[in-house]
């Protein structure tokens, strides 16, 4: 099993906060090719996706930024050439056409390029939606495994990412790849940002800082048990719904930020 401790890594969707967080964590050990539809200078003119969400930084050598349309296979393949690993953090949510193009066909292009370029370690990303407003979404369930199949319903974002994940799984199994899939839901800064003590937090949240660090472990692990291995990248929260245990066991990644001050009452915080 390939363990990528150094070398060249291409990140697709580098303009988004998950990829920005990943790049921050990887930049000292890897040579990064950061790709997005738009140039980084243009992205930096816009607001963060949400308050506290990381923004990309202008890369310095040996890192580089390249404009790549993930829906264009030739551009994706060209970006993948010479890389030791690929990270697909692309996502497009609300547009009823582009959501299919980016989340499904983009995933197809990235995994196909990996195969064509002989790259076996890929980190794929997607959502673990927790509240989709239908009876199959696990909202009222507990002890939900990382391997619990996603039930996206007809939510555009959830469904298109689900289809893309299925495409990646089929490629991974057929070509014996090592695909690490990270699922996320909500994010916050590690200190809980502006939220007040005891204001509560949902059952699937991750700090931006931990989000980026997970990628380092995803590149280095040698303990994958199947070609398409899914991990919930989630803080260690006490709700009893989701868990970081599988990621700790197979990746060695352990969340550092667990939002205690948000789920403990004011009195509980004062005791510490």
Partner 1 sequence: MKLLVTGADNALGECAVRHFSVEHEVKAAGREEDFRDPVVAASLVEGVRAVLHLDGYSADGSQAEFELLDFSARGTYVLMHAARDAEVGRVVVGSTLGFFEDYPEDYVINEDWRPLPKPDAVSLSPLMVELTAREFAREGGIEAVCLRFGLLDDSGTPEAEAMKAIEEALKLKFNRHSYRWGLFHVHSDGGRFTTMMKTSPLRMKEQQAD
Q: Which of 8, 52, 59, 73 binds partner 1 (CB under 8 A)?
A: 73
Query: Which residue number, 168 or 180, has a Cβ lying nearer to partner 1?
Result: 168
Cβ contacts of 209 within 8 Å, gap of 6 or more: 21, 189, 190, 256, 257
Interface with partner 1, residue 153, by CB under 8 A:
yes
Interface with partner 1, residue 93, by CB under 8 A:
no
Tell me how far apart the alpha carbons of residues 24 and 57 are, in angstroms, rounded to a whole number.
9
Please identify, among the stretches 21-29, 152-160, 192-200, 262-270, the one whose residues bind partner 1 according to the rule CB under 8 A: 152-160
The H or E element spanning position 142 is none
How far is CA 147 from each of CA 103, 143, 153, 252, rounded to the nearest angstrom?
A: 20, 11, 18, 18
Query: Which residue number, 19 or 159, has a Cβ lying nearer to partner 1?
Result: 159
Tell me how far apart the alpha carbons of residues 221 and 210 are, in angstroms, rounded to a whole number.
16
Contact 87, 146 (CB under 8 A): no
Interface with partner 1, residue 163, by CB under 8 A:
yes
Query: Which residue number, 32 or 168, has a Cβ lying nearer to partner 1?
Result: 168
In angstroms, give the least distance from the CB of 61 to partner 1. 34
Interface with partner 1, residue 159, by CB under 8 A:
yes
Interface with partner 1, residue 223, by CB under 8 A:
no
Q: Which of 47, 97, 140, 176 binds partner 1 (CB under 8 A)?
A: 97
What 8-state DSSP symbol labels residue 133?
A: S
Interface with partner 1, residue 170, by CB under 8 A:
yes
Q: Would you give the binding string for partner 1 spanning residues 5-44, x where CB under 8 A is met? A: ----------------------------------------
Q: Which of 3, 50, 58, 134 binds partner 1 (CB under 8 A)?
A: 134
Query: Which residue number, 73 or 202, has a Cβ lying nearer to partner 1?
Result: 73
* Count of CB atoms situated within 10 Å of the CB of 186: 16
Query: Which residue number, 213 or 229, has a Cβ lying nearer to partner 1?
Result: 229
Q: Which of 54, 56, 127, 152 binds partner 1 (CB under 8 A)?
A: 152
Query: Which residue number, 8 or 151, has a Cβ lying nearer to partner 1?
Result: 151
Interface with partner 1, residue 69, by CB under 8 A:
no
- As to burial, measured by CB atoms within 10 angstroms (0-12 exposed, 13-18 middle, 19+ buried), residue 11 is buried
Contact 212, 22 (CB under 8 A): yes
What SS3 class is residue 179? strand
Question: For 159, phi and psi rounded to 5 degrees?
Answer: -70, -45
Number of residues that bind partner 1 (CB under 8 A): 31
Q: Which of 8, 66, 175, 264 binds partner 1 (CB under 8 A)?
A: 175
Alpha helices, DSSP H, located in the chain: 17-26, 40-43, 73-80, 98-100, 106-116, 156-175, 208-220, 245-250, 260-263, 266-271
Interacting residues with partner 1 (CB under 8 A)? 71, 73, 96-97, 100-101, 104-105, 108, 111-112, 115, 134-136, 151-154, 156, 159-160, 162-163, 166-167, 170-171, 173-175
């Amino acid at each position: 099993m390939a363990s990528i401790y150094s070398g060249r890594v291409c990140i697709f969707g580098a303009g988004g906060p998950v990829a920005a967080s990943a790049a921050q964590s990887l930049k000292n050990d890897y040579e990064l090719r950061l790709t997005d539809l738009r140039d980084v200078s243009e992205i930096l003119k816009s607001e963060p996706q949400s308050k506290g969400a990381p923004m990309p930084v202008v890369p310095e050598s040996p890192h580089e930024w390249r404009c790549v349309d993930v829906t264009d296979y030739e551009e994706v393949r060209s970006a993948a050439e010479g890389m030791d690993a690929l990270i697909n953090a692309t996502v497009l949510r609300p547009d009823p056409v582009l959501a299919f193009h980016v989340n499904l066909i983009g995933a197809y292009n990235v995994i196909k390029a990996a195969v064509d370029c002989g790259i076996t370690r890929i980190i794929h990303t997607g959502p673990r939606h927790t509240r989709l407003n239908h009876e199959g979404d696990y909202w009222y369930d507990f002890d939900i495994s990382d391997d619990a199949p996603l039930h996206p319903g007809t939510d555009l974002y959830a469904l298109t990412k689900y289809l893309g994940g299925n495409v990646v799984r089929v490629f991974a199994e057929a070509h014996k790849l090592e695909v690490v899939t990270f699922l996320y839901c909500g994010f916050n800064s590690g200190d809980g940002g502006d939220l007040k003590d005891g204001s509560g937090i949902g059952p699937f949240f991750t700090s931006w800082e931990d989000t980026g660090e997970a990628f380092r472990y995803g590149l280095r692990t040698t303990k994958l048990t199947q070609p398409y291995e899914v991990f919930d990248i989630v803080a260690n929260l006490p709700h009893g719904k989701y868990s970081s245990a599988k990621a700790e066991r197979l990746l060695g990644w352990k969340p550092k930020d667990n939002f205690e001050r948000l789920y403990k009452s004011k009195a509980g915080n004062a005791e510490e």
